[in-house]
């Protein structure tokens, strides 16, 4: 399912942004 992979990638990107913000 491509939409599943896209959501996983978006979540990883948000996690990286939160880490930079912290």
DSSP 1-22: -HHHHHHHHHHHHHHHHHHHH-
Answer yes or no: is pLDDT of 22 > 80.
Answer: no
Structure confidence by residue, pLDDT tens digits, 1-19: 677 888 899 999 999 989 9
CA distance linking residue 22 with residue 14, whole number of Å: 12
- Whole-number pLDDT of residue 11: 93
- Whole-number pLDDT of residue 1: 66
Burial of 20 (C-beta count, 10 Å sphere; 0-12/13-18/19+): exposed
- Whole-number pLDDT of residue 20: 87
Residue 3 CA to chain centroid, in angstroms? Answer: 13
- Whole-number pLDDT of residue 12: 93
């Amino acid at each position: 399912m491509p939409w599943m992979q896209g959501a996983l990638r978006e979540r990883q990107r948000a996690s990286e942004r939160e880490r930079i913000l912290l």
